[in-house]
Every structure is written in C-alpha cells, then in structure tokens.
A and B are shown apart, each in its own frame.
Chain A
Amino acid sequence: MTDVTDTKQMAYIAAQAADARVNLEIETEGMTLNIGPQHPATHGTLRIVVKLDGEQVISAEPLMGYMHRGYEKLSEVRTYPQVTTLVNRIDWLGSFANEVPFILAAEQLMEVEAPPRAQWIRTALFEMSRIANVVLFLGDMGVQLGAVTPVFFAFRDREFILNQIEAVTGGRFHPNFDRIGGLRDDLPKGWIEETQGVLKRIRDFCDEIETLVVGNEIFQSRTRNIGVIPPDVGLSYGLSGANIRSSGVDWDIRRDGGVGLVHHELDWKVWTHPDGDSFARFWVRLQEVRESCTMIEQILDGIPAGPVMAKVPRIIKVPAGEAYVETENPLGVMGYYIVSKGDLTPFRVKIRSASFNNVSITPWLLKGVYVPDVISILASLYFILGDIDR
C-alpha cells in the first residue's frame, strides 16, 4: 500500500542509539536497584526498577499506579462544573492551569466564549500557576544534586505567588475557579498593585538562582551533556513543554495556535536551547519563569473592563460532539478530548497529561547512564506524579 521503508523507523534508530551507550568493558554480576516509590526526585510515588552493571544502568523500567485515581472514569459520573474539582488535582503545583483546557474544550462544544476580561484574568492566573510550579523545580533541581540552599529560596518566594492566587481564587493549591463561560469572580481590590510587587520578587529569585546554580561549576559538570534528548526522539515520545524546547524544537502552543487565552496579544519570546541535556532543560525553565513575569506584567497593565462571566445556562448541558483542546501547561502540553452526548455529564474524557509522555522516555533515556546521573536526569525531566497517574 505504501512505499515507506521500515528501516527508517524512529523506534529502531532510537533503540540502536540507546544500545550504543551501554558500553560494558568488564562483565560483572548484574544488580537490581529500586529507586522509589518514595524518593524525593520522583515528586510523589514513582518507582523505577533499574538494572545495573557496576555503575552503569542497563535497563530502567518505571512502575506506576501507586496513585492512580481514575479521573477518566470519575469524569463520566460528574457534571461538567464538577470535573474541574477533579482536574485540579492532576498537576497539583499548577492547579489552575489544569482547569483551563477542560473549560476551553467544553466552551468550544457549547460555542460559548468567555468575555475579554475573563480571558485576560485567566491568562494571568494561568501564568501564575506556571510560576508557582516551575519555581519549585528551580529550587528542587539543586537539592537533587546536593545543593540544599536553593529550595529554601524557592519555597520562600513561591509563597508570595500562592498568596496572590489565593487572594483571587480562595484556594492555594486547588483554586477551582474557572467556569464554563468565564470565571467565578472578579479580581479583589488592590490585587494588581500587590502582584506587581510579587513579580519583582520572582525576578529577583530568578537572578538569585542564576548566580547560585547556573554558574556553579559542580552543577554544570553534573548536568552538561547528561541525558541528551535529540529533537526527533523527543517528539516521537510525545515530549512537550520545556523538555522539548530544550532540544531545540521551537514550538509553544501559547504562541502557535492556542485558543481562549490572550498570549498572542502580549509581547514575549519562546526560549529554546540547542543542547537537549539536563542543563538545557533547567535553563529553558528559568527563562520561562522570567517570560511569565513579563507576560503577567503586561496583562496587569492591560486587563480590559467588563463582565467576567458570559451568559450560560444555570444547568450546563453540553451539546453532542467531540472536542480536543490543549494548552501549554507548566509541565508541557495538556489536553482534554471530550466526547459529549448532550448530557449533563461527559460521555468520555481522555486526559492527555504532559508528564505521562515526558516520563515514558525514561527507559530509553536512562539506558547506559551512570547511577548519579539517573537522579539528575529524572529531576531535569520534571514531572509530577499526579500528572502521570491521573
């Protein structure tokens, strides 16, 4: 039927490349090492069974399911507004961002559009949840490599962002604030000025991390050329977000065809790094936090006046149809495929979460690396267990 040759298949090339890294000079007795389920580098309960030969990893197999909550099944017996409560808990560090693609997909099916003010506030909260999420990564990466100080700075400064999110939504971790057709509420008084101050602190934090970590010689030698992901391999595994941008792929849904949010009206830049190693993943995320600050500053200056809620029925029935909407979440591309039959509840919800794909590359990526690098690579991939075990 087709004349495409199988020899050029991605999996074949990828497997060859991974095998080539395993270079056994002296045959020693193999050893199986369990990393996790409760290792700090796993941000939850991921267990990786690693087979070692001396210091080298021969195979690594992640075992999941310790925290699977069956959100796809639960979504089928909940009304659309109730589902946001569930999806809050997928990536618990950037919860608001989880609600957005679901609400946008439902809005697409209902042919409802949120008023401009709601879209701007949504984008601001979306970017703030990115800061709350990634700031913790910037501190945590140091901890994985033995530098304890940065994480204290991260927890200190993340608190300010969480306070601002709480001031609007009422929830530090689970805002449950996005509604079909808009937002639950408007911004509180004085919030814009306060947030401008907080953003300044976050920028200072980024500078601090840059001097503390990025320039550090030990950090560089532990991350440079460690865990290199070529762009084509990364794409075929479905890597997204900063993980794929640090392999030189210039692709960001916020810029390239995002719906419902106002990123295209702001002046900002997509950061990429050509190296594809652990260092690049750290560096790209650091720049993205700065870029998020730039975005929020512009949003705060330009939020239009008006209502925050469109006219939607009180009891929401979504017309029959199918929609897939994805957004560029803190961890990568997050999307919801909603199948509706015109009922109060979704007929089927497929949750496409970023970390699931990001971690699926680990068996390939960890093959042939040395034990200390396993932790550095896992930390740099940056996943949240709730985002894998949905």
Chain B
Amino acid sequence: MIQLSSPEDTQPEEEETEIPQSDEAREELVAEIEKELGDALIATEITPEVDVWARVTKEAWLDTARILLHRCNMKYFNFLSAIDWMPSPYGRDLDAQVDQPEPINPEEMSWGITGGETRFQMLARVHDPENHLGISIKADLDESDLSIESWSPIYPGADWHERETSEMFGIVFLNHPNPVNLYLPGDFEGYPLRKDFALLSRRIKPWPGIVDVEDMPGEESEDEEVEA
C-alpha cells in the first residue's frame, strides 16, 4: 500500500520497488480447492496478504461449500449475495452536470476479479476463524436459468442471506428450507437490486449535493478528460 501523506512522494518509483509478496497460506488454500474441485474451478486470484477469490461452475456450487467447510476449515459463514454486472440502463441521469455519460449499452458488460461470463454472478464469503483466512467465492448464473443449489444444508446461516438474494435479484435457491421473502412484502413486483430496477427517487429528484462539486481554482478538472 502506498502512503500518499506528503505531496513529494513520487508514486511510480515506489510502485516499481514494491516486490510482489508471496502468500503461502492463501496459495495452499487455492491448491486444496483445486485438488478437490478439478475442472469445476474456473479461475482464482490472490492479492498477497489481502484477499483471495475463486470462481467455480454453477454445478459445483454446493460441493464448494462442502469442501470449504470440511476440508479447508472455513467454519465461519460470512455472507452470501449476488452481483448484477449489467450497466444500469438509466445511466446516472440527473447528475449529468458532473459527468455526462455516453449512451449506455446494457449488453456491454465488464466483470471484476476472476472474470465472468453472465449477467448475474453469485458472491459468497466464508472465513477460517482459527487461521484468519477468508475467501470470496463466485459462480456464474445463466440468465435463462436463474437457479442454484442452496448452501443452507451446509451453512445454516445462508438461509436468510439466500432469502434476501432471492427477493432482491430473482435468483431461485433449490432445496431451500423456507423460500419466502425476507424483507419485501409477498406481493412485491420486481427485483430491487437488479440494475434495470429504476430507483424512483433518483428519477424524479435531482442528485443531492450536486452543486457542491465544483473544481477548485487551479485544479484540473477530471471531468473534462472524459468529455475530450
């Protein structure tokens, strides 16, 4: 991590001298998962001393949980959710003063760490409370079949997280013990955390605090670069 406390710091040099550290504990963890899952493990990424990610196939989702709990000592269930990778078709409308976006093509998706192929991606995280290691697990979900095995038989704590994910993203969890809405009323229509679910207050009211964002004299505007 680079310290930017004094303006004299020359960033590029520091970056060059930073030697990529190795992270044995996390590499061992990835090796263990790879040994058990084989081809079902699509991609992994390790940021040394920070974090580790793994992407598995949808079919191996439940097996991954089993392996993490029984083989990797990941006893602690942290959270489970999903990511909708489609860029919001509404853009950022009323904040146009700050950053006039180019017309958005919802088909043009880009994915984050460990990549992806589909619009919806599962995201779960478990933790080893003895060795203090955490891992984020992802799995692609094809839009034609938004269903995936439930983790609750393995991690009971996944129950509520899956109910929340289900109502917010419209993902169906197979073999879930109690598949009803957690927060939303039963007759609620739509899936609020999907990117194509319009946030009404943002459609009808201006962005709060928009007038505050002005450039200081002498400071180069970053927005002009976007327009240029």
Residues of A within 8 A of B (CB): 1-2, 4, 6, 8-12, 14, 64-65, 68, 70, 72-74, 76-77, 79, 82, 108, 111-113, 115, 181, 232-233, 235-238, 240, 244, 249, 251, 256-257, 306-307, 310-315, 317, 320-324, 326, 333, 335, 337, 339, 341, 344-345, 348, 350, 352, 356-357, 360-361, 364, 389
Q: Are B67 and A311 in contact (CB under 8 A)?
A: no
Residues of B within 8 A of A (CB): 1-7, 36-38, 40, 50-51, 53, 60, 63, 66-67, 69-71, 75-79, 81, 83-84, 88, 92, 95, 98-99, 110, 112-113, 123, 125, 129-130, 132, 134, 136, 152-157, 159-161, 168, 181-185, 192-193, 197, 199, 202, 207-209, 213, 215-216, 219, 222-223
Interchain CA distance A231-B208 in the complex, whole Å:
45
Given A1-B60, A2-B67, A249-B129: A14 in contact with B134 (beta carbons within 8 A): no
Q: Are B66 and A364 in contact (CB under 8 A)?
A: no
Q: Which of B50, B67, B76 contacts A108 (CB 8 A)?
A: B50
Interchain CA distance A357-B92 in the complex, whole Å:
33
Q: Are A232 and B75 in contact (CB under 8 A)?
A: yes
Q: Are A322 and B113 in contact (CB under 8 A)?
A: yes
Interchain CA distance A68-B28 in the complex, whole Å:
40
Q: Are B1 and A11 in contact (CB under 8 A)?
A: no
Given A4-B70, A314-B215, A324-B51: A235 in contact with B76 (beta carbons within 8 A): yes
**Chain B minimum-CB-distance residue to A68:** B183
Q: Are A76 and B70 in contact (CB under 8 A)?
A: no
Q: List 7 additional A-B contacts (Cβ < 8 Å) besides A73-B192, A339-B83, A357-B77.
A: A65-B184, A72-B168, A79-B213, A108-B1, A181-B4, A238-B155, A314-B216
Interchain CA distance A196-B143 in the complex, whole Å:
58
Q: Are A2 and B63 in contact (CB under 8 A)?
A: yes
State the main secondary structure of chain B at its contact with A: loop
Q: Are B193 and A72 in contact (CB under 8 A)?
A: yes
Q: Are A350 and B66 in contact (CB under 8 A)?
A: no
Q: Are A73 and B159 in contact (CB under 8 A)?
A: no
Interchain CA distance A251-B128 in the complex, whole Å:
10
Q: Are A357 and B66 in contact (CB under 8 A)?
A: no
Task: Give the shortest distance, in Å, between B216 (CB) and chain A (any CB).
Answer: 6
Task: Give the shortest distance, in Å, between B77 (CB) and chain A (any CB).
Answer: 4
Residues of A within 8 A of B110 (CB): 341
Given A82-B208, A314-B216, A323-B51: A235 in contact with B75 (beta carbons within 8 A): yes
Residues of B within 8 A of A70 (CB): 192
Residues of B within 8 A of A8 (CB): 70
Interchain CA distance A65-B182 in the complex, whole Å:
7
